[in-house]
Structure 1
Amino acid sequence: MTCALLFSLFLLLVLEAPSQSNHLGPTSRLRYSRFLDSSNVIFLRWDFDLEAEIITFELQVRTTGWVGLGVTNRYTNVGGDLVVGGVLPDGNVYFSDQHLVDEDTLGEDGSQDAELQGLTEDAVYTTMRFSRPFRSCDSHDQDITSDTVRVLAAYGLDDTPKLDRERTFVKSIFLLQIVHPDDLDVPEDTIIHDLEITDFLIPEDHTTYACTFLPLPIVSKKHHIYKFEPRLIARTETLVHHILVYACGNASALPTGISDCYGADPAFSLCSQVIVGWAVGGTSYQFPDDVGVSIGTPLDPQWIRLEIHYSNFHNLAGVYDTSGIRVYYSAQLRKYDMGVLQLGFFTFPIHFIPPGAESFMSYGLCKTEKFEEMNGAPVPDIQVYGYLLHTHLAGRALQAVQYRNGTQLQIICKDDSYDFNLQETRDLPHRLAIKPGDEVLVECHYQTLDRDSMTFGGPSTINEMCLIFLFYYPRNNISSCMGYPDIIYVANELGEEVSDSMEAMMAMSSVEWTPENIKKAEKACKEAQQTVIIKTIDEVVENTTGWIPDIISSARGPCLESTGGKVEPQDKTPAGFRAAPVAISSSSSSSQQLLPIPLIHS
């Protein structure tokens, strides 16, 4: 009897004690938060320990029934994991690590890898807090990675865990956000300046690139821009696909007014060095405390080109827009002047993606050997601290890989679960250096199973892009470094007899795109010689050539077994129960200390 009591008390302490490995116990502040549904019924807080590879979630739902939180994949919820919990009418708690057997059925995992930290219920909310490894040894648990993660949340109106599609939600979130804005300095002398298009009549076309040229803030001495955010209005925000701010060389003769960026007047495509950029799904971004965009010195740009891409798929008429970018700047100077380097596949129709492709890879090469010559001065190591990934609707994954002396050095950044609707500037966990002579390869992964015609590179959302913007310091004059393959070689490998690039591009539409030809085209694009186009802020362009190196994939890290050990299929004990006889009372001290969640946008 005494042993049984001691054992029960031990289990209770285990359930209530904070995890020692990640230092995020039941009362620890969780830095990140997000509503997971449009009605603001489901609110999530989370935080993580990168070293321990443990993440802690706190889910609060407006229900007195069960709640569930987990991770799923892009295409189906089936197989997604879901940690389920709730409080019974008698005050006892139930909690289990489960997975979706099919769209409507839950099954308990053989290995219980989620650790409960608290469960409470009142007249309005059920709140569940737990931790789990980034990667457990249970095949039913989806990995938490530095990619976009599709968070799955569900709840019920009673204590019978049963999936209802009306109360099941999936939201893409970048969970492992390294830097929280609250941890960054905000200068007391901050000045706000808006770069925007005013009362612009959005054309009824599917795709419009509207450009105008605007002055940067006029200051008498050097200042640093340290933060930017989109300026969107409610009636048009669903039409705005991306906004880019390009620095103009001070010798440029710039046009006035608003016009098509890439139309009849080539002057509206001047200026190609990105300063800041926003795309659909993104929010504000604040630079690290030691970097900023320099303005106010003779070497700094005085004008910018503001580019807004509108996707008016429903051909709405009479819609006026005032959108742009708000910048925050200060006379409190940072240590480094930052720049942005655009990498990837040069955006024009030589970039093609066959229809009906389960998987198709495109490559754009950058060679830095000419950077110093084109910069007009020695180029210090490019210290990369952040990045922005960009494809259109067919994009599934991107990565940038660094090479030195022909050897792969590291993967700079990647997202194997890219979501077009979540494009945001992200910080690297560790800064890295690109040295003169290094090569950087961008690989983009596409899927076109829903298309029956060719997809070509281009500006429209139904076209494709393959771009990665690297945020770095100290600033140099190189604005972009992008590549494309020898399309004549590719066409010849596909059995098409062509003699020039235009003929080769046209020949792509006559190819019978069987799975075999899709793979043959992908192989030819990778083996073809690449032309590398390098451009400076003053629109000086030089070309070089190179070859696509192989990419060595990084190995997955070790998994973490649950503390209770893995339950094997041959075990007769029902899987999924963690000390069923022992329950945490909803009035337990640790549960009462869960922080209340306000019903307002965070």
Structure 2
Amino acid sequence: MTCVLLFKLFLLLALSDTCQGHRLSPTSHLRYSRFLDPSNVIFLLWDFDFEAEIITFELQVRTAGWVGLGISNRYTVVGSDLVVGGVLPDGNVYFSDQHLVDEDTLEEDGSQDAELLGLTEDAVYTTMRFSRPFRSCDPHDQDITSDTIRVLTAYGLDDTLKLDPERTFVKSIFLLQIIHPDDLEVPEEIIIHDLEITDFLIPEDDTTYACTFLPLPIVSKKHHIYKFEPKLVEHNETLVHHILVYACGNASVLPTGISDCYGADPDFSLCTQVIVGWAVGGTSYQFPDDVGISIGTPWDPQWIRLEIHYSNFHSLPGRLILEVLGIISCIYDTSGIRIYYTSHLRKYDMGVLQLGVFTFPIHFIPPGAESFMSYGLCKTEKFQEMNGAPMPDIQVYGYLLHTHLAGRALQAVQYRNGTQLQTICKDDSYDFNLQETRDLPHRVVIKPGDELLIECHYQTLDRDSVIFGGPSTLNEMCLVFLFYYPRNNISSCQGYPDITYVAHELGEEVSDPMEGTMVMNNIEWTPENIKKAERACKESQQIVLIKTIDEVVENTTGWIPDIIPTPRGPCLESSGGKVEPQDETPAGFRVAPVVLSGSTSAALEHLPLGALLFLQGTLSWLLAMLQTEG
């Protein structure tokens, strides 16, 4: 009897030790949070379990009526899923997984894929907590992925389930953030330094690129920058489109003052190796605990170029005249990047590699296109030679995606020896107004000789003229910034198509790239010609430009490889609803995971090898003891 009790005790200890920390319980602390409306009436908390592919939400709304949370697509709320709930005056609760059949009508799903974890109402808030799979087998449920997710939320003043536009909101969020800031170490010694433009008078132009050159902090020994954040002047946030910090080669002769980055003076476009960057919708970013930007050694940059892109679409004048009061007021800006650095060094020095389509007018996107793809190729075979020293493998841990207003999706794909290896990063639901540095779920290794392909997907139904590559927000870009370690001297690797070949395929006779670019304005952009241009851009030879931090440039050529789509994983069958036969997907489906505490056999399936061996050894010992006692 004693041995049986000991066996049970060993089993419980092993199970409890291995079941902690990996799965969310109904009352777990939720790490992420965000207000979802301008008035801060709706507050969302969430967290997720990658292994189980389950996400948990808690919605807190200042109302005594119903509340709802779901996922919408880019263009319309029709078809969106919405999980709704509330507390009736008699204290009973209601909860349902629904979808929008039109802009204000809800209908209950045949498959109930959301699990209620709590629903309360007090004098101020209605609070609803529930979980749902990343991907259910119900076609009415939108998938939750690492893409930009457009979170739909709504509420009512009473328990009548009807949408009111004044209480319905959509906000873009990266729900599946890999690293939470609270999980990162904060050094004991922290020094703050601001890299900022000073009292810059914002012009009336719709696009301004203001550049100035600034020294990095002067330190007597090596330090690491481990975090950065935007420094924006209140009321000017809507004018600042992006801020980039470029490292300068120590042999560069730099100009003084503030000027147009890409204007008459070419010196203001010197320095092209990005070290940190911020764009619309972004916040602060802290590097993983083992990497940082090195400063203070002879090999580190001593100066940077600060570039601030202003988008002044409302033509707000730099000088505002208040005629009634006779007051002249000017819009000055002192924005920039705040960096945090420390003498407590990390393991690796990090760098940033800029990929995509080279930003100039040979990159074009036709008007009226439902869909148009652009491609930028990078061939790394010359990296070792251009680096000037033996170069280890590139270890990529994060990325930043960037297009302008016509961009809909981006992806970076890796090839080795002519074979597609993997998709490094992607976003099939890109939002221009949410551009943040994101962490990869696992680090990607790029070896010398690998090819990297950037694909950008555009839609231009709202344009009536060709969009060319360029710096204005009304121009376009196709860029991916890879954050990696250990640092090397390569700053960018970008491609662009042979525009003369593209023009010939469209039936135009041209003799040089300038003519090829200009003739794009003469094309009748029918759907057939749009597809013909897209195909020609993909089939043409790509010119690849590789640049180092010291502005050394080399060209090579290559061809765009095909991209094999990543297959979708299986959907998760609801444990509480039903899945209709027509809802089953080609990828198959699997049942919802069993909660560990409810099934010993399910728990044993998830035990690590060490725990299983321990249990096996313990069981053998106990059996021997039992035989001895017998």
Distance 1:26 1:94 in 2: 18
Distance 1:229 1:421 in 2: 17
- What is residue 92 of structure 2 aligned with on the other side? 92
Distance 1:30 1:20 in 2: 16
- Whether the aligned pair in 1 keeps the contact of 2:228 and 2:339 (CA below 8 Å) is yes
- What is residue 189 of structure 2 aligned with on the other side? 189
1:551 aligns with 2:563: yes
Counterparts of 1:571-590 in structure 2, within 5 Å, are none
- Whether the aligned pair in 2 keeps the contact of 1:22 and 1:48 (CA below 8 Å) is no
> What's the TM-score once normalised by structure 2's chain length?
0.87
- Whether the aligned pair in 1 keeps the contact of 2:259 and 2:268 (CA below 8 Å) is yes
1:449 aligns with 2:464: no
| Paired residue total | 552
Q: 1:559 to 1:21 in 2, by over 3 A?
A: farther
Q: 1:181 to 1:417 in 2, by over 3 A?
A: same
Q: CA deviation at 1:565?
A: 4.3
- What is residue 44 of structure 1 aligned with on the other side? 44
Distance 2:451 2:203 in 1: 41
- What is residue 619 of structure 2 aligned with on the other side? none
Distance 1:447 1:438 in 2: 30
Q: CA deviation at 1:564?
A: 2.6
- Whether the aligned pair in 1 keeps the contact of 2:573 and 2:579 (CA below 8 Å) is no
Q: CA deviation at 1:399?
A: 0.2
RMSD, aligned α-carbons: 1.2
- What is residue 577 of structure 1 aligned with on the other side? none
- Kindly provide the CA deviation profile for residues 60-117 of structure 1, in whole angstroms up to 9, marking residues without a partner as x: 0000000000001000000000000001111111000000010010000000000000
Distance 1:20 1:247 in 2: 45
- What is residue 198 of structure 2 aligned with on the other side? 198
Q: Which amino acid aligns with 1:524?
A: A
Counterparts of 1:36-115 in structure 2, within 5 Å, are 36-115=36-115
**DSSP-derived class of the 1:388 partner:** strand
Q: 1:182 to 1:20 in 2, by over 3 A?
A: closer
Write out the 4+ residue segments of structure 1 that deviate beyond 4 Å after TM superposition: 19-22
- What is residue 3 of structure 1 aligned with on the other side? none
Distance 2:342 2:21 in 1: 40
Distance 1:357 1:454 in 2: 10
- Whether the aligned pair in 2 keeps the contact of 1:119 and 1:128 (CA below 8 Å) is yes
- Kindly provide the CA deviation profile for residues 441-473 of structure 1, in whole angstroms up to 9, marking residues without a partner as x: 000000000111110000000000000000000
- What is residue 6 of structure 1 aligned with on the other side? none
- What is residue 341 of structure 2 aligned with on the other side? 329
Q: 1:377 to 1:205 in 2, by over 3 A?
A: same
- What is residue 507 of structure 1 aligned with on the other side? 519
**DSSP-derived class of the 1:219 partner:** coil
Higher relative contact order (CA 8 A, sep 6+): 1
Distance 1:312 1:117 in 2: 46
Q: CA deviation at 1:41?
A: 0.2
- What is residue 251 of structure 2 aligned with on the other side? 251
Q: CA deviation at 1:475?
A: 0.1
Q: CA deviation at 1:235?
A: 1.9
Question: What is the aligned-residue identity percentage?
Answer: 87
Distance 1:275 1:50 in 2: 30
- What is residue 426 of structure 1 aligned with on the other side? 438
- What is residue 301 of structure 2 aligned with on the other side? 301
Q: Which amino acid aligns with 1:117?
A: L
1:121 aligns with 2:116: no
Counterparts of 1:208-357 in structure 2, within 5 Å, are 208-317=208-317, 318=319, 319-357=331-369
- What is residue 131 of structure 2 aligned with on the other side? 131
- What is residue 473 of structure 2 aligned with on the other side? 461
Q: CA deviation at 1:568?
A: 3.8
**DSSP-derived class of the 2:578 partner:** coil
Q: CA deviation at 1:23?
A: 2.5
Counterparts of 1:404-553 in structure 2, within 5 Å, are 404-553=416-565
- Kindly provide the CA deviation profile for residues 288-347 of structure 1, in whole angstroms up to 9, marking residues without a partner as x: 000000000000000000000000111112210000000000000000000000000000
- Whether the aligned pair in 2 keeps the contact of 1:21 and 1:52 (CA below 8 Å) is no
Compare 127-136 and 314-323 and name the one that shifted more: 314-323
Q: CA deviation at 1:25?
A: 2.3
- Whether the aligned pair in 2 keeps the contact of 1:531 and 1:544 (CA below 8 Å) is yes
Q: CA deviation at 1:569?
A: 9.0
Flag the structure with higher helix content.
Answer: 2
Larger radius of gyration: 2
Q: Which amino acid aligns with 2:272?
A: S
**DSSP-derived class of the 1:503 partner:** helix
- Whether the aligned pair in 1 keeps the contact of 2:113 and 2:577 (CA below 8 Å) is no
Distance 1:360 1:462 in 2: 16
Distance 1:26 1:234 in 2: 40
> What's the TM-score once normalised by structure 1's chain length?
0.91
Distance 1:201 1:457 in 2: 27
Q: Which amino acid aligns with 2:454?
A: V
Q: CA deviation at 1:228?
A: 0.1
Q: CA deviation at 1:161?
A: 1.1
- Kindly provide the CA deviation profile for residues 95-150 of structure 1, in whole angstroms up to 9, marking residues without a partner as x: 00000010010000000000000000001100000000000000000000000000
- What is residue 595 of structure 1 aligned with on the other side? none
- Whether the aligned pair in 2 keeps the contact of 1:244 and 1:306 (CA below 8 Å) is yes
Distance 2:87 2:95 in 1: 9
Q: CA deviation at 1:539?
A: 0.3
Compare 21-30 and 332-341 and name the one that shifted more: 21-30
- What is residue 363 of structure 1 aligned with on the other side? 375
- Whether the aligned pair in 2 keeps the contact of 1:31 and 1:46 (CA below 8 Å) is yes
**DSSP-derived class of the 2:566 partner:** coil
